[in-house]
Structure 1
Amino acid sequence: MRRNKKDEGFVLIDDRVINSKGKKTKPKNMEKGRFDLINQLIWVLPGLFFVCIFSYFSIFIVFKYGLSANGANGVFILSIKNIGNLFTEPTHEFPIALRNTLIYVLVSVPISLLIALWTAKALSNVLSKRAFAFFQSAFFLPYVTSALAVAMAFSILFSTSNTSLLTQLLTKLGLSRVDWKEPKNAMIMLIIYGVWKMLPFKIIMFTAAFLRVDKRLYQAASIDGVPKWQQFWKISVPQIMPVIIYMITTGIIGSFKFMPFGLFANYEEAVKSQAQTAVFFIFSRINSGSGSLPSYSTGGAASIVLMVIILVMTLANRQLSKFLNKKYR
């Protein structure tokens, strides 16, 4: 491409600028490109600084305490002794906490996913987009409510006193009172609380996804005589599969971080009910207010074990996501 500009004294040849004296010059947009990297770094560096301080440095501290066997004068010695002590301690608190966490993840995530899908599909069938704006606020309100306040409300709800709402309901139904803090019932209480806590965000996301599905697909399927339940699996699910995968991933990660703080007065009360989780165990080891001196090495070792398990579950979820994408493509 050749363009002459006699009045301005230069010629543009294939994005190169040659002035009237025969010297090559660079256009202004190329000169401006020199500073693009600097401008981008100016915007990125503050966020990168906070990520390094509060994430990477924190990870370094966890590994430092979790994989250390301090020698003479506090010299760092790489060792997995602290991790081994987690599984050999007489009380077996961490294995029980790890078991409870895995049960909570494997049960609460699928149940909340199915309930949210069913509820969101029902809402999308009867709601218009204008009405959805109102119900979006109504459903999302419990999600933004203080987790501690919600946990305390559930603690009162599952109380064994005769004045609690659940006890009165069971009595009217002719059933005996249930002690939800017994070891055999404590996990059921945690799962009910966890499922209720997960539902608002999932319902909002799934309802919005269902409302974006092209209605003409359902109309064509109805003309062909496809039943409603087949329309759900053949049309609705494939269309919102990216949202489903996102909800599964975030649900698994969030469930591993679950801590029943508020359902129990303290960690010792959770231990009596055998309802402690891995994060609650870590909290008890690094918090001196839980009845014992802080043990950063034990807390760091437990954090490393939990991180490895989350990494394995994330890789497994990635394979599941690939399978679902191929099946519902």
Structure 2
Amino acid sequence: MKTIKHSPPHKGLWYLLPALIILGVFWMIPLVMVFGYSFFHFIYGTHPHFVGLSQYQQLFTSSLFWLSLRTTLIFAAAVVIGGSAISLLFAVLLFRGIRAVGLFRALFFLPYVMPVVATSTVWLWMYQPSVGVIDRIFAMVGLPGNIGWVNEPRLALISLIIYTIWFSFGFTMLLFMAGLTNISRELLEAAEVDGANSWRQFWSITWPLLSPTTLFVVVINTINAFQTFTQIYALTRGGPVNGTTTLTYLIYETAFNYFHFGGASATAVVFFLLILALTGLQFWVSRKAVYYGG
């Protein structure tokens, strides 16, 4: 009879060691350093000195911080709610079996895999007053054709939201389509036999059974929306008049335009805690709102 040799318990750690080293060097150590620097007045070229909580006091009394927080919340809410609703609509339409569904899925997903800088540059050209594609189309149908999409404070944030929804739309739609494949067609057919129309089938069967997928989509899109930076830098540079300065862009400006690493670290810590709190709130709400079957 053959004896089975058991590997020592610590042997598995050697297989995890490369991943743990990368995680520690590029995530844990920077996280600890940012938290530590938030208690120091540290400007590039000077020696950092401990100031305690004064960096946080300055942050919470800064009007720019509260403006950027408000902009971040508006941007995230619009992108998550609007993007999720549009993606769900198209996912349901494609799932019903229209022709060339594979082609549409590929076309919708294509923007998500393209470089953000490249697509942002194209949209910046499209947003140009008078000469941009959007203004030319408006002029052709008799609408005002000299709109400063990224040059006016009222429109810059809306333009940024439109681009971000367009960019992430394909990824979110595929997630919803994956969730739809897990819904039994027998339930929908039974509801149809009972006389339920398409709208009633969606609200009574499809939507409740999609709640786990919806939770995942909302959490992922919320985190991505809060971390948005590239398109802000490419399209608006946080302007005009700080109208599109989110917390991520504020951290970038504080650290790399003004070289105030201590203040940027304090903002990053508050930003991290905000995302953590919102994610926890979403999971808490999901206990009553999400249906896992059974």
Residue 82 of structure 2: aligned partner: 111
TM-score (ref. length: structure 2): 0.89
Residue 165 of structure 1: aligned partner: 133
1:270-322: CA deviation from partner (whole Å, max 9, x where unpaired): 253521111111112222xxxx4411111101101111111111111111211
Match of 1:136 among 105, 119, 122: 105
Q: What is the deviation of 1:93?
A: 2.6
Number of equivalent positions: 287
Residue 81 of structure 1: aligned partner: 54
Match of 1:184 among 146, 149, 154: 154
Name the Cα RMSD after superposition: 2.3
Residue 139 of structure 1 contacts residue 204 of structure 1 at CA under 8 Å; is this kept in 2? no
Residue 71 of structure 2: aligned partner: 100
Match of 1:263 among 229, 232, 235: 235
TM-score (ref. length: structure 1): 0.80
Match of 1:244 among 202, 214, 220: 214
Larger Rg: 1
Q: Distance in 2 between matches of 1:39 and 1:47?
A: 15
Q: What is the deviation of 1:75?
A: 7.3
SS in structure 1 at match of 2:235: coil
Residue 40 of structure 2 contacts residue 50 of structure 2 at CA under 8 Å; is this kept in 1? yes
- Superposed, 1:277-292 pairs within 5 Å as 277-287=246-256, 292=257
Please list every run of 5 or more consecutive structure 2 residues that lacks an aligned counterpart in the other structure: none
1:196-228: CA deviation from partner (whole Å, max 9, x where unpaired): 122110111112222332211111111111121
SS in structure 1 at match of 2:234: coil
Residue 143 of structure 2: aligned partner: 175
Specify whether residues 273 and 171 from structure 1 end up closer, same or farther in structure 2 by C-alpha distance, changes over 3 A only.
farther
Residue 152 of structure 2 contacts residue 240 of structure 2 at CA under 8 Å; is this kept in 1? no
Residue 40 of structure 2 contacts residue 48 of structure 2 at CA under 8 Å; is this kept in 1? no
Q: What is the deviation of 1:112?
A: 0.7
- Superposed, 1:115-126 pairs within 5 Å as 115-126=86-97
1:99-149: CA deviation from partner (whole Å, max 9, x where unpaired): 110101112201111111110000000248xx5544433322110100111
Greater relative CO, 1 or 2 (CA 8 Å, sep 6+): 2
The runs of at least 4 consecutive aligned structure 1 residues that moved more than 6 Å come to none
Specify whether residues 105 and 97 from structure 1 end up closer, same or farther in structure 2 by C-alpha distance, changes over 3 A only.
same
Residue 39 of structure 2: aligned partner: 67
Alignment-mate amino acid for residue 238 of structure 1: P
Alignment-mate amino acid for residue 126 of structure 1: G
Q: What is the deviation of 1:187?
A: 1.5
Please list every run of 5 or more consecutive structure 1 residues that lacks an aligned counterpart in the other structure: 1-7, 9-26
Alignment-mate amino acid for residue 277 of structure 1: T
Identity of aligned residues (%): 24
